[in-house]
Chain A
């Protein structure tokens, strides 16, 4: 069985079962015409084979077994530390390492860079579900370069399946880690001028007539992790007309750090802090991309997008992640003017 596959080899209808939720959706979106980064994936079978053959499964079973939803934070943290240490002690098989190195070398060749920076992304089975999103629990490493570092990052992604928050989240919901084997994607790192997230409905009010875009300079980690207050915009869904734009003071940037050979957070350069991130063309392009993805899936989505630093107007928007959106409200936008129903709602309630 081939444990490491190029994304191009995956078929959209089976990509999720092979490559986990995130990679699966990237493949689906790519097949539907969205521009997504290329790369390869250590499929869920690679994870299963590694954990079974190394005896990690048994050891983890022994540590997780006594835990329950009532376990204390200290107990969860201790269990997590023990599991993560165990995972780090076990080397990948030579066969798997070779396969990763080979695929990585091919990516380098395609990118014409001997140490091509890549994104190493967790892609667990069943994450991003409608009921349990596991949002932000599993790791992503941006800017990794060199085969050895990629292999380390893969193991760190696997380990994040057993972080204290992941353990807790599963215990609360009665989910077994056996039900969510983790694939890991190794993807070209899109050189990011700006990145962010976008929602195909208003995530708070639930209004479906608009796309909400949040973005900042550089890569999206600072936005995704909530380390920076991003610029925020709303775009009309039917006509892709920018409706509102709020420029935020952005204090943190996720930027490529050549010394650490990583994308890492640092203070935003002063001249960029209050600069507007997205112009109207870019907003429209992002909104158009999000709208297509929503249409493809037939349900509301949130999307992590990247504007490549070499993008020119009219160029594509890269999508590095998407998932079904978890919406707070379900308020529909008012659909027509009906004086009596608005009067009923507002004129006789004393709510002002």
Chain B
């Protein structure tokens, strides 16, 4: 019998106080973003790991532009034979997502026929397509960055805000237009490899060792770390919190001031990125360099530099060795298939793109909207610069268009901030999944990126049945094993709690978690697959990593001793003496 997690507690008309969405308040291709109803219990929903803090009203825009527009449009265009993209439901400030399944057999066949024509065309011209799309994104970005918002009237800020939203929406059209076919090709190649008897643990290696924008950033940060060490700034970093670091360095003057100048140069190049993906509530490093300074502080704790050149050379060598070893076990006929598939996946390299695109899209495309909302807050005399992100898009448009006075919203903004905090508290106890747990999901993004694969589904099924899970299994994402104390984090703000040699346990990581990999002994994620951020970085840094564990953040308590086997994809939990064996609700 299928495991069903009731949706009842979220079946409500409730949104943030004082707002009810009109059906057309945002664009959608197949199915709009809305609240739960009882019938949703027949579908399978999972708590989206991208925003562990919850989303502000303006932050919910991502659900509209990313899911309801980006994924659905792309899934219709390729098309995905059995799916029409991803939809979501709101639960307070958090979102649950689900696949939109195509159920009619004929329609699936017809969509498959179209996919068979479109996919090869896309892959053949991927390099050109991605160059063109990147150019488009860069061109929008340069344009939006060039505007001096402080010189704009409220109405003009409205115009800028609309353009920034247009960019945001377009960026996610591009994001999923590229992601679905690249991923489908990768998963197809993965399947071909397993069919030919290649060890699945080897396959991701075939595509590693190509440089990305994110790796470039990490290298630059390590360069700054080296300079700080050489300039004798280690003790300044050791003595101060990341938040007070800039002031401390300024006060020190001399070499410290010189270092800050270099740091600011670094920010001009790499600082337009947020801590976490796609959330207007998040500042860039330019706005708040604390995370970047914190990383340097963390890096300095390590005895030696991370040798990127050696790691890179190592990754390349490991790639070539893995390819040679795999090829040698294939018959000549199979080698032809393998070589062609590998060439296709190297030319349209999903794991590479998965890291690279974060720089161009996920980590920065919400920034122009953020600048606009902050400037609007300033112009309308808001109490705080983030007041405006507690308005919904239509409300903010009314303000910039002069239809409503911002002062009318002051009370409601307060209520909404409390509402946000209330749901932030609830997050840790929210069910990871809702509705009917299926045997399998069919959307490749949900399977590979969100990790809704058979491991995950079995884990949540097992937990739904008896709640007693001691050895967890997931996807073997980066090989090796390690044992240590678990640090269960809900978001990257808490990374400072992780001590060298400890084991990071989280729902998922994104590029802002990368620096932690220089000190952790192992990583465990609820979601993800062999291609999620943690998997890629885990391999890059040689940190044993298991993803798609399903309920790691629920089953493992902070301070537990855990053993992570990244080669076989298992996590063994040894409850710490101080912890009673509580039964945790799924």
Contacts and interface: CB of A to CB of B under 8 A. Distances in A.
Given A336-B336, A340-B115, A340-B116, A346 B329 contact: no
Nearest to A243: B329
B571 to A, nearest CB: 19
A260 to B, nearest CB: 42
Interface in A309-352: 333-352
Interface stretch (A84-92, A233-241, A249-257): A233-241
A151 to B, nearest CB: 48
Interface in B341-379: 341, 344
A243 B328 contact: yes
Nearest to A333: B333
A337 B332 contact: no
A138 B332 CA distance: 39
A340 B337 contact: no
A210 B448 CA distance: 32
B567 interface: no
A244 interface: yes
Contacts of B339: 337
B444 A348 contact: yes
A209 interface: yes
B502 to A, nearest CB: 30
A345 B331 contact: no
A121 B439 CA distance: 53
Instruction: Identify whether the interface residues of B are mostly helix, strand, loop, or mixed.
Output: helix
Instruction: Identify whether the interface residues of A are mostly helix, strand, loop, or mixed.
Output: loop
Contacts of A349: 440, 442
Interface in B471-490: none
Interface string A192-236: 000000000000000101100000000000000000000000101
Nearest to A345: B191
Counting chain B CB atoms within 10 Å of each CB, the highest count among A237, A343, A352 belongs to A343
B428 to A, nearest CB: 28
Contact of B119 (A234, A236, A239, A340): A340
Given A344-B115, A348-B444, A209 B333 contact: yes
Contacts of A346: 187-188, 190-192
B503 interface: no
B454 A352 contact: yes
A237 B188 contact: no
Given A334-B192, A340-B120, A342-B188, A236 B442 contact: no
A337 B336 CA distance: 8
B333 A343 contact: no
Contacts of B24: none
B351 to A, nearest CB: 15
B288 to A, nearest CB: 39
Contacts of B337: 333-337
B188 A347 contact: yes
Contacts of A351: 440, 454
Given A243-B328, A244-B329, A348-B83, A343 B334 contact: no
Interface in B153-205: 183-185, 187-192, 195-197
Listed from nearest, the 5 A-B pairs whose CB atoms lie closest are A346-B191, A350-B440, A342-B188, A337-B340, A343-B188
19 contacts: A234-B329, A243-B329, A333-B337, A334-B337, A339-B188, A339-B189, A339-B344, A340-B119, A341-B116, A342-B192, A343-B184, A346-B190, A346-B192, A347-B187, A348-B80, A348-B443, A350-B440, A350-B447, A350-B452
